[in-house]
C-alpha cells in the first residue's frame, strides 16, 4: 500500500538531470489508485511542470510537460525513452492535455501519442516510434504509470535554509573554545593518499572564513605528490583578523612507494615536527634534525586526525595502501587520537549535481562509497564525513561550505574528546613559568 515510486535511484536521477537538475514529487501511481483520465488530469493541473512515467518491461517512457497547464491550455509534450542509460527524445504537440489520453468512448482516436489507462497501453504513430528509436510496434503495453511534479532541485527556499545553516555553523566554529582552554588552537592533522584532497580541504576551509575562494596551497594535478613539506596553517577570522581556534596541518601524501614515511606519523602526532619541515620519503625525521622540536608542549601536539580519501578511488586502493592506512590509524589511536574520515570528490561522481550536495548523505552512490570505506578500511560509518572542495570555482558556494563546516565542527568535537581524556600528567603545567615540560617528551620519544 506504500505509495513510492518504482524508479530506481539511477533511473530517477538520469531523468532529473536530463530535464535540468529537477527533483520529482510523486503525485499519482496507477497501481494504488485506478482512475479515469479525467480525474488523473484533474490531479495534474496547476502543479507546474510534470512528467508522466510509464514502465513497459525494461523500458521507461516519460512524457514531460514543461509548462504549468490546465484544461484549456494546449501544451507541448517532450517524450523520452530511457533504456539502460540511454535517453532518446521527441517533441509533440501543442495540443490540449486531454488529447493525450484515450477515454472509453473514443478508443479509436487517431493520435501520435495516446495513453490508455484502462487497457494499460500506449499508442504511438510510426513517426514518433522512429524518432524514439523504439521497435516498430505501435502499441506498447505497460505495467505501471506514475505522474510526478518536477521541481527545481535547488530553489530559493532551500538556498535560504542553507545560507542560514552556513551562518550558524560559522558562528559555532568561530566561538568554539577548546576544552578547559587547555590550548588556544586545536591542531587537526590531515593524512591520506597522494592527491586525496588534503591541501584542497585546507584551501576550502580557509576560503569560507576569508569570505572568498583562495588557493593558498598549491594542489596537485598529476599522480605524483604535490605537498612535500609539513605545513601548519592557521586561519584568521574575516572581521577582526584574530586567529580561529583551530589549525590545519597538511602532510605529504601516503603512497605505495615513497610518500610520507610511516615513522614520521608518530613524530607529527607528538608535536616534534616543525612547520615547513621538508619530508624525506627515504627516512623519517630524527632528533638530530636541526628544527626537531625536542620538548613539544600540549599545544604542539596533534589533537585530531582526519584521513582524507578520494571517493572515486576508494575501491581501487592497493593492498599496500590499505596496510599503510591501517597502520597509520593504529598509530593515531596509540597516541590517544580518534581518527575521522573525510571523503572528497563526491561532486565529480557520476550523476551527482550541485543540488544533491544539500542532501548528500541520502544519495545512494555516496552511501555505497561510505560503505566501501567501512568495509575496506574498517572505519565506523559514523566516523565518515563527506566534504566538497573548491577546485576551479571563483565564488564561494554555501552548499559546499555547509558540508565542509559540518565536518570541521565534528573534528573540533573530536579534539575536545581528546583533550578531555588526556591523562593528567600530559597536561602542561603552564601556571608554573619555568616548569620543564619533560613529561610530555618522555612519553613521546620512540625507543
Ligand X SMILES: Nc1nc2c(ncn2[C@@H]2O[C@H](COP(=O)(O)OP(=O)(O)OP(=O)(O)O)[C@@H](O)[C@H]2O)c(=O)[nH]1
Q: Which residues bind Mg ion (CB under 5 A)?
A: 198-199, 226-227
Contacting range for another protein; rule: CB under 8 A; set: 26-34, 104-112, 187-195, 208-216: 26-34
Distance CA 90, CA 79 (A): 5
- Residue 223: how many other CB atoms lie within 10 Å: 8
Q: Which of residues 322-361 bind another protein (CB under 8 A)?
A: 326, 329-330, 333-334, 338-340
Q: Which is nearer to ligand X, 53 or 377 (CB)?
A: 377
Q: Does 194 bind ligand X (CB under 6 A)?
A: yes
Of residues 36, 39, 76, 287, which one binds another protein by CB under 8 A?
Answer: 39
Distance CA 89, CA 14 (A): 13
Of residues 121, 391, 406, 410, which one binds ligand X by CB under 6 A?
Answer: 391
Q: Which is nearer to ligand X, 220 or 336 (CB)?
A: 220
User: Checking DSSP bridges between strand 186-191 and strand 304-310, what pairing results, if any?
Assistant: parallel
Q: Which of residues 125-184 bind ligand X (CB under 6 A)?
A: none
Q: Does 226 bind ligand X (CB under 6 A)?
A: yes
Q: Does 96 bind another protein (CB under 8 A)?
A: no
Three cell numbers written together for 255: 603512497
Residue (of 333, 341, 313, 335) closest to 256 by Cα position: 313
Residue (of 250, 172, 239, 243) closest to 211 by Cα position: 239
Distance CA 89, CA 78 (A): 7
Q: Please, is 104 exposed, middle or buried when counting C-beta atoms within 10 Å of its C-beta (0-12, 13-18, 19+)? A: exposed
Q: What share of the chain is helix, strand, coil (3-state, %, to 5)?
A: 35, 25, 40
Q: Which is nearer to ligand X, 12 or 347 (CB)?
A: 347
Q: Does 221 bind ligand X (CB under 6 A)?
A: yes
Calculate the CA dihedral of residues 271, 304, 339, 421 and round it to 10 degrees: 90
Of residues 345, 357, 360, 403, which one binds ligand X by CB under 6 A?
Answer: 345
Please report how close the Cβ of residue 344 comes to ligand X at its closest, in angstroms.
Answer: 4
Q: Does 244 bind ligand X (CB under 6 A)?
A: no
Q: Residue-wise over 283-294: b if at least 16 C-beta within 10 A, else e?
A: ebbeeebeeebe
Please report how close the Cβ of residue 193 comes to Mg ion at its closest, in angstroms.
Answer: 11
Of residues 16, 50, 56, 200, which one binds ligand X by CB under 6 A?
Answer: 200
Show the beta-strand stretches assigned E in 315-445: 339-344, 384-386
Of residues 10, 17, 18, 48, which one binds another protein by CB under 8 A?
Answer: 48
Please report how close the Cβ of residue 338 comes to another protein at its closest, in angstroms.
Answer: 5
**255 close to 195: Cβ distance less than 8 angstroms:** no
Please report how close the Cβ of residue 235 comes to Mg ion at its closest, in angstroms.
Answer: 17
Distance CA 202, CA 221 (A): 16
Q: Does 253 bind ligand X (CB under 6 A)?
A: yes
Q: Which of residues 104-163 bind another protein (CB under 8 A)?
A: 149, 151, 155, 157-158, 160-162
Residue (of 61, 63, 30, 59) closest to 150 by Cα position: 63
56 touches, from another protein, Mg ion, ligand X, none (C-beta below 5 to 8 Å by class): none
Per-residue binder mask for another protein (CB under 8 A), 384-423, x = binder: --------------------------x--xx-xx--xx-x
- CB-based contacts of 245: which residues, under 8 Å, 6+ apart? 173, 174, 176, 177, 178, 184, 185, 186, 412
Residue (of 278, 250, 259) closest to 190 by Cα position: 250
344 touches, from ligand X, Mg ion, another protein, none (C-beta below 5 to 8 Å by class): ligand X
Radius of gyration of the chain (CA): 29
Query: Which residues of the shown chain bind ligand X in the complex (CB under 6 A)?
Result: 192, 194-200, 219-221, 225-227, 252-253, 308, 344-345, 347-348, 380, 388-389, 391
Query: Which residues of the shown chain bind another protein in the complex (CB under 8 A)?
Result: 1-4, 25-27, 32-33, 39, 42-43, 46-48, 68, 149, 151, 155, 157-158, 160-162, 164-165, 180, 326, 329-330, 333-334, 338-340, 378-383, 410, 413-414, 416-417, 420-421, 423
Amino acid at each position: 500500500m506504500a505509495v513510492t515510486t518504482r524508479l530506481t535511484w539511477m533511473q530517477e536521477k538520469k531523468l532529473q538531470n536530463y530535464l535540468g537538475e529537477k527533483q520529482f514529487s510523486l503525485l499519482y501511481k496507477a497501481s494504488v489508485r485506478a482512475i479515469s483520465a479525467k480525474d488523473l488530469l484533474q490531479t495534474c493541473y496547476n502543479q507546474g511542470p510534470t512528467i508522466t512515467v510509464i514502465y513497459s518491461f525494461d523500458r521507461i517512457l516519460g512524457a514531460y510537460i514543461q509548462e504549468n497547464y490546465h484544461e484549456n491550455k494546449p501544451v507541448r509534450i517532450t517524450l523520452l525513452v530511457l533504456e539502460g542509460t540511454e535517453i532518446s527524445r521527441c517533441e509533440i504537440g501543442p495540443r490540449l492535455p486531454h488529447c493525450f489520453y484515450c477515454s472509453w468512448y473514443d478508443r479509436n482516436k487517431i493520435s501520435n501519442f495516446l495513453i490508455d489507462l484502462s487497457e494499460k497501453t500506449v499508442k504511438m504513430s510510426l513517426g514518433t516510434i522512429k524518432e524514439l528509436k523504439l521497435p516498430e510496434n505501435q502499441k506498447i503495453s505497460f505495467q505501471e504509470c506514475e505522474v510526478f511534479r518536477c521541481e527545481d532541485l535547488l530553489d530559493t527556499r532551500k538556498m535560504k535554509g542553507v545560507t542560514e545553516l552556513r551562518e550558524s555553523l560559522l558562528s559555532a566554529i568561530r566561538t568554539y573554545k577548546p576544552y578547559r582552554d587547555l590550548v588556544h588552537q586545536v591542531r587537526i592533522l590531515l593524512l591520506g593518499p597522494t592527491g586525496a584532497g588534503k591541501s584542497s580541504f585546507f584551501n576550502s576551509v580557509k576560503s569560507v572564513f576569508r569570505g572568498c575562494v583562495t588557493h593558498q596551497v598549491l594542489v596537485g594535478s598529476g599522480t605524483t605528490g604535490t605537498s612535500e613539506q609539513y605545513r601548519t596553517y592557521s586561519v584568521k577570522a574575516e572581521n577582526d583578523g584574530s586567529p580561529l581556534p583551530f589549525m590545519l596541518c597538511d602532510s605529504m601524501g601516503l603512497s605505495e612507494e615513497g610518500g610520507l614515511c610511516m615513522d614520521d606519523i608518530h613524530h607529527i602526532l607528538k608535536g616534534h615536527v616543525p612547520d615547513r619541515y621538508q619530508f624525506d620519503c627515504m627516512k623519517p625525521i630524527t632528533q638530530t634534525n636541526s628544527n626537531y622540536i625536542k620538548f613539544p608542549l600540549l599545544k604542539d601536539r596533534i589533537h585530531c586526525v582526519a584521513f582524507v580519501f578520494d571517493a572515486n578511488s576508494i575501491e581501487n586502493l592497493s593492498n599496500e595502501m590499505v596496510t599503510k592506512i591501517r597502520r597509520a590509524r593504529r598509530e593515531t589511536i596509540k597516541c590517544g587520537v580518534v581518527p575521522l574520515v573525510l571523503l572528497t570528490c563526491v561532486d565529480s561522481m557520476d550523476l551527482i549535481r550541485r543540488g544533491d550536495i544539500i542532501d548528500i548523505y541520502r544519495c545512494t552512490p555516496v552511501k555505497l562509497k561510505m560503505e566501501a570505506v567501512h568495509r575496506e578500511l574498517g572505519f565506523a560509518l559514523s566516523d565518515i564525513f563527506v566534504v566538497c572542495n573548491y577546485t576551479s570555482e571563483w565564488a564561494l558556494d554555501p552548499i559546499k561550505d555547509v558540508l565542509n563546516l559540518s565536518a570541521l565542527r565534528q573534528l573540533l568535537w573530536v579534539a575536545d574528546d581528546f583533550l578531555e581524556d588526556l591523562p593528567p600528567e600530559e597536561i602542561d603545567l603552564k601556571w608554573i613559568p619555568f616548569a620543564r615540560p619533560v613529561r610530555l617528551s618522555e612519553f613521546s620519544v620512540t625507543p
